[in-house]
Amino acid sequence: MSRIFVAGASGNIGAALLAALHVSQAEVVAGVHDPDKAKALKELDVDARLFDFQDPDSLARAMEGCQRMFLVLPMVETMTRFGHLAVQAAKQVGIEYIVRSSGYAASSDAHWRLGREHGMVDQFVEDSGIPFTILRPNTFMQNFASRMAGMVRSGVLALPEEAACVSYIDVRDVAACAAALLLDPGEHENRSYALTGPEGLSGAEVADRIGKAVGQDILYQPISEEEFIKIQTECGLGEWQRSMLVSLSRVVKLGMMGNVTKAVEHLTGTPARAFETFAAENVTAWK
């Protein structure tokens, strides 16, 4: 059985992937940055290894003895450099297959910044000579229960997306796709898949579904980019992160993020989770 290295194992997708691989009794190495998180994973009998995306030697040490790798990167200004270093380390230690979690509509020549940043890393993976599969998931449902939970609790969901739709996806479905590939790449080597939820939803429809789950009215309020930047600044996001989110909102308004694919079902045999299911399971985040 191939041993799987999961980079970013304590993140949203990484943690869900560890859970999915645990069910399949796969041999897994969890790559984490935080010693406390490594300790917590080791207490659960998970082989957890510390690494730093800025340190190629630590990357190579963490991957040692693994044959397959899941690569997801933090959304930071050095994301593309981190991706390049991770791929170089994978080549150095002899990784034989990479599953890369990228972003919806990503491309190295994308006209929008976040798509281009993700796409550059995808290009590093494709050019590495290592067999790969690239997953390009749409915006995560979990964002509404994490960084936007306070906004939802206020009763107003304020986004600069007008009436455009997004086919939001549950991170557990992204993890399920990654797990299926890492366990058996099969016919999926050297291919890319756009991952979405089962329907495109406008901001008003998202607010309505969350409101019904919580049992109170949630209002969707379209706002300007300037107002959005102000809100994100108050939440502590830096200039680079704000620019990435604004670039994403612009392609949403162009109608590029509302398409629906059946890739989740194709890769896992199970349809993607509906937003209502996610909302019902996360009511406590909004109470």
The residue ranges of every structural domain in the chain are: 3-140+169-195+259-272
Sign of CA dihedral 236, 238, 241, 243: positive
135 backbone dihedrals φ, ψ, rounded to 5°: -100, 130
Question: What's the distance, Cα to Cα, between the start and end of the chain in Å?
Answer: 44
Provide the pLDDT for residue 256. 94
Domain 3-140+169-195+259-272 has CATH 1.10.40.50: no
Provide the pLDDT for residue 276. 98
Cβ-based neighbour number of residue 20 at 10 Å: 20
Pick from 183, 193, 217: which is nearest to 265 by CA? 193
Q: Which amino acid is at 154?
A: S
Provide the pLDDT for residue 234. 87
Pick from 195, 171, 137: which is nearest to 278 by CA? 171
Beta strands in the chain (DSSP E): 3-7, 27-32, 47-50, 68-71, 97-101, 132-137, 156-159, 165-166, 191-195, 201-202, 219-222
pLDDT in tens, the chain (287 residues): 799 999 989 899 999 999 999 999 999 999 999 999 999 999 989 999 999 999 999 999 999 999 999 999 999 999 999 999 999 999 999 999 999 999 999 999 999 999 999 999 999 999 999 999 999 999 999 999 998 999 999 999 999 999 999 999 999 999 999 999 999 999 999 999 999 999 999 999 999 999 999 999 999 999 999 999 998 898 888 999 999 999 999 999 999 999 999 999 999 999 999 999 999 999 999 98
Q: What is the pTM of this model?
A: 0.96
Determine contact, residues 239/245, Cβ cutoff 8 Å.
no
**Pairwise CA distance, residues 152 & 105, whole Å:** 27
Q: How far is CA 158 from each of CA 33, 53, 110, 172, 210, rounded to the nearest angstrom?
A: 33, 34, 26, 25, 14
